[in-house]
A and B are shown apart, each in its own frame.
Chain A
Amino acid sequence: MSRDIQLEIGERELRNGLTLLAVRNPRVQTFAAVTTLDIRGIDEPVDRMGLANLVGSCLDEGTKKHDDLELAKAAEACGASLDGSSTGGVVMAPASSQKPALALLREIILEPTFPSRQVKRVQAEVLTEIAAEEDDPRTVAARRFRRYVYGDHPLARPAQGTAATVAKLTPKDLRAYHKRLFRPAGGYVAISAPDEVEQSLDRLEKVFKSFRGDAVEHGEYPTVELSAGSHNDHVAMPREQVHIYLGHVGVRRNDPDFYVLSVMDHILGTGPGFTSRCARKLRDEQGLCYAVSAGITPSAGREPGTFTAYIGTSPEHRQRAVDGFLAEIERIRSELVSEQELEDVKQYLTGSFVFALERNSNLAAYAIRAKRFGLGFDFIHRYPDTIRSITTEQVRAAAERHLHPDRIAVISAGAS
């Protein structure tokens, strides 16, 4: 199927070090542009946790040309949805509005002013959000899980920061961070639009060629260590359900086992509908939960993600749920999956890929991912063969290598 799909992608590197990517999507009258600059979690000072997030949230709070309300008006007037992020921003709009919409994207990324009053307001919103999340047992458990799994490593830090660190941030911090890190070198701007690829690239070049700044020296992440043993922790909160996270440190996106692990994930706990083993056992057969999942590849990035199993269940089912997960983890490490299970997942992965190419925002993100992780633009044509070649023994061996039942942390919050 994916062989039939012709995807026109083009790239151009500007002198300032920014890489432009363009995908042609002729069947729509809309476009999306995504900017991802080379900004890493390690670039955020330890005592300024939440700074990157706040910078992203405040990019559209005022620029050299427009104040916050004018920016919102300008975006709305051309039917655009414009959002800043800690590594850049995204704009989506009707194709007929590309020019004004891209100009707005450029403006919030290159020329934000972080006005004091607006920063304070957003800061208060983030603080309320943090407070609200501390009410939410699922988030509480997820945060503690992350903190335990990564230990002292910088990846343990919550992206949003904590109430204490966020409260201390000032507009000056935001301006300094932006000035230091929002640089073109090593960054990407990708667009998916109905136009010819060259035309899109020309358009992007015009908008972003004046982006100036030298490359940034990034810090290096220390190596992430697996924790020594298993661990249990529970935060009691008066709720209906208990939310349980279970797992340990995972893999990088460029791990040689990545594709085998993605097959393993689908069999174990990320398969569509309720086809995965965990969903079938814990939800369909035992009725323990509404939400359940387990996987190691979804969080894999430049740095190692986590192997995470999650379930939200009533407190009386807690032990059955944990035992259920552990049994499935043990089983996929020690026994070969059936040929039928493997075949079903291969059919799903090779057949579903095309849906990732439907929306402009997905296409633009795909182009960036293909570059960033060195997958190549022909990735969609190679992917099916990669998946088809995977064997049951490879799945078992990868599970044994990457899942560690003796090092598992079980962290929960909610009803006891």
Chain B
Amino acid sequence: MSESLMLPDVRVVELDNGFRALLVEREPLPVVASVLWYAVGARDERSGETGLSHFLEHMMFKGTDRFGKGEIDLLTSKMGGSNNAFTDNDSTAYYFSLAADRWETALEIESSRMRSCLLDPQEFASEKNVVLEELAMGEDEPWRPLYQACEGLMWQVHPYHHPVIGYREDLERLQAQGMRDYYARHYGPNRAFLTVVGAIDPQRTVDRIHELFGTLPRAAERQTPLGEPLPKGERRAELRTHHSVTRFCIGFPTCRMGDFDDYALDLLAHDLGNSKNSRLYRRLALDEELVTDVSVINETRQDPGGLFVLGELRQGADANKVERIIREEMAGQISEGISKADLKRIRAQISASFLFQDESVLDQAMKIARFEAGTPDGYRTLEDVLPTYEALSSKELRRVAARYYDFGRATVVWAVPERPTVALGVSAPTKKSPKKSNRKESAKKPAKKPAKKVAKKTAKKSNRAGKRTPKKVAKKAAGKGRR
């Protein structure tokens, strides 16, 4: 695969106030995608203000000094385009796909809402209900509360501890003024960059960027959050759920996104649990028939992240046996590494996933933005990604596996049915009337966060291309907090 394909011609614009833009001209379809990426996420929230980043993302569509309430969506739709946004632990991103002859409106909108969002108290109150409904929806899902419980136990000091959507108690207490302060503190040109891909006139775009973003004042620089000490022992929890299927999530603390080990973990995760031929799927799903699905996510972040093993038990399967096999297979990977033939196959999958991301302007803009935000060398990392995967030997992979696969500091969470089901495929009786207290009760579950980002991972280095037999686990655990 040619390097030019991995890294298109990127024109970089840098303004005095710290704002950057990465521009890629691409034809022939008359479409343009823009991604405005902020270095603001759940990690920037202090105690008592959890969920503010994500809630603020919703409010960014509710009116600015130039664009009235609802106007951003209406303008986008009139331009035949689409827009959306997401928030995760490290970032918030806003994106548009628009027809090439009208796309500059996106720049005008982004410029206006960088510092001049209205955050009207009445809109704030009504949107708070939307966010609380979003939170309630997430709590009803099977994977999200499990994943959040695991994160909440794994990170006890670092703000990765709390869910991106926040705690219900914090959200209910939040006032518009608190959001205003947060917005003023964090939203500014020095905390953001723009990626544009499509049928643009580059020089005109550069001029417009200077005009629209050049005079915006800076926000505060980002603070470094408290570091997370390595766990001194295993952490374990059991959730009682309304669901009739038993599920698990096991997390291991790992490294930062873009670190050398991160690439190794991608290959290891693939070999461990991301295809039909992976160790865990073969052993647990095919040979022993203990699980219906198992999956491994290498979830590195700006601060050290985690490797998560998620799965769903067959009815009646022995949970202890499942855990034992996971230990055996991870130990097996440490001692045996990955065979040459398997490495070749995994690399083919990863290369292909990069190619697929070039099919649409938005995917390509997002890919560039993720690398820019998430790796030390920014978008230029794209040039080295495939060679880095190529260069990793089985010996190095074994070293990395040995370093992180430590059950002595793993977090193990099981979600088990409150009531055992009668028989396979027959749901538990649901006649019992739900009580109001139910809401409170589940709001107190150890952790809840709807917004993570398999997509971020997949786009960064991605396992999406391949036939992932464990189709649904990772996807469901890690739904992105889209508006």
Which residues of A approach B to under 8 Å, CB–CB?
1, 4-5, 26-30, 60, 68-69, 72-73, 75-83, 92-94, 97, 121, 124-125, 127-132, 134-137, 162-164, 166-167, 235-241, 271-275, 280, 283-291, 312-315, 344-345, 347-355, 357-360, 414-416
A284 to B430 Cα, complex, angstroms: 32
Given contacts A72-B276, A76-B346, A288-B129, contact A350 B80 (CB under 8 A): yes
Q: Tell yes or no: B286 within 8 A of A by CB.
A: yes
Given contacts A92-B356, A238-B434, A354-B31, contact A76 B348 (CB under 8 A): yes
Given contacts A30-B356, A128-B245, A239-B140, contact A273 B80 (CB under 8 A): no
Contact indicator B276/A352 (Cβ below 8 Å): no
Contact indicator B30/A4 (Cβ below 8 Å): yes
Chain B residues, Cβ within 8 Å of A275: 70, 73-74, 77
Contact indicator A314/B434 (Cβ below 8 Å): no
Contact indicator B70/A274 (Cβ below 8 Å): yes
A322 to B137 Cα, complex, angstroms: 18
Contact indicator A131/B434 (Cβ below 8 Å): no
B459 to chain A, nearest CB (A): 15
A274 to chain B, nearest CB (A): 5
Contact indicator A135/B425 (Cβ below 8 Å): no
Given contacts A30-B359, A69-B277, A414-B140, contact A351 B81 (CB under 8 A): yes
Chain B residues, Cβ within 8 Å of A241: 133, 136-137, 140
Contact indicator A240/B140 (Cβ below 8 Å): yes
Contact indicator B80/A1 (Cβ below 8 Å): yes
Known contacts A132-B244, A312-B133; 4 additional CB pairs below 8 A are A77-B348, A167-B424, A273-B74, A287-B130
Contact indicator B358/A28 (Cβ below 8 Å): yes
Q: Which of B38-46, B155-163, B260-268, B461-469 is found at the contact surface with chain A?
A: B461-469
Contact indicator A273/B434 (Cβ below 8 Å): no
Contact mask for chain B residues 370-386; partner A; CB cutoff 8 A; 1 contact, 0 none: 00000000000000000
Contact indicator B70/A284 (Cβ below 8 Å): yes
A213 to B367 Cα, complex, angstroms: 45
Contact indicator B133/A79 (Cβ below 8 Å): no
27 contacts between A and B (CB under 8 A): A1-B80, A1-B99, A1-B101, A4-B30, A27-B26, A29-B355, A30-B356, A68-B276, A76-B348, A79-B351, A80-B466, A121-B285, A129-B292, A130-B425, A167-B425, A239-B242, A241-B140, A271-B77, A272-B81, A274-B61, A284-B126, A288-B133, A290-B130, A351-B78, A351-B81, A354-B31, A355-B360
> Which of B125, B293, B359, B469 has the largest number of chain A CB atoms within 10 A?
B359
Q: Tell yes or no: B139 within 8 A of A by CB.
A: yes
A1 to chain B, nearest CB (A): 6
Contact indicator B426/A314 (Cβ below 8 Å): no
Chain A residues, Cβ within 8 Å of B277: 69, 72-73, 76
Q: Tell yes or no: B393 within 8 A of A by CB.
A: no
The 5 closest A-B pairs by CB, nearest first: A351-B80, A163-B425, A79-B352, A287-B129, A273-B73
A360 to chain B, nearest CB (A): 6
Q: Tell yes or no: B452 within 8 A of A by CB.
A: no
Contact indicator A354/B427 (Cβ below 8 Å): no
Contact indicator B467/A353 (Cβ below 8 Å): no
Q: Tell yes or no: B237 within 8 A of A by CB.
A: no
Contact indicator A72/B244 (Cβ below 8 Å): no
Chain A residues, Cβ within 8 Å of B77: 271-273, 275, 344-345, 347-348, 352
B120 to chain A, nearest CB (A): 12
Chain A residues, Cβ within 8 Å of B61: 273-274
Q: Tell yes or no: B455 within 8 A of A by CB.
A: no
Contact indicator B293/A131 (Cβ below 8 Å): no
Q: Tell yes or no: B361 within 8 A of A by CB.
A: yes
Contact indicator A81/B466 (Cβ below 8 Å): yes
A354 to chain B, nearest CB (A): 6
Contact indicator B244/A273 (Cβ below 8 Å): no
Given contacts A289-B133, A291-B137, contact A416 B434 (CB under 8 A): yes
Given contacts A291-B137, A312-B133, A314-B136, contact A131 B315 (CB under 8 A): yes
Chain B residues, Cβ within 8 Å of A28: 355, 358-359
Contact mask for chain B residues 277-288; partner A; CB cutoff 8 A; 1 contact, 0 none: 100001001100
A350 to B282 Cα, complex, angstroms: 48
B434 to chain A, nearest CB (A): 4
A163 to B282 Cα, complex, angstroms: 25
Chain B residues, Cβ within 8 Å of A94: 1, 351-352, 355
Chain B residues, Cβ within 8 Å of A69: 276-277, 282, 286
Contact indicator A124/B292 (Cβ below 8 Å): yes
A287 to B292 Cα, complex, angstroms: 38
Q: Tell yes or no: B304 within 8 A of A by CB.
A: no
Chain B residues, Cβ within 8 Å of A77: 344-345, 348
Chain A residue nearest in CB terms to B464: A81
Given contacts A94-B351, A121-B285, A235-B430, contact A272 B73 (CB under 8 A): yes
> Which of A125, A283, A288, A291 has the largest number of chain B CB atoms within 10 A?
A125
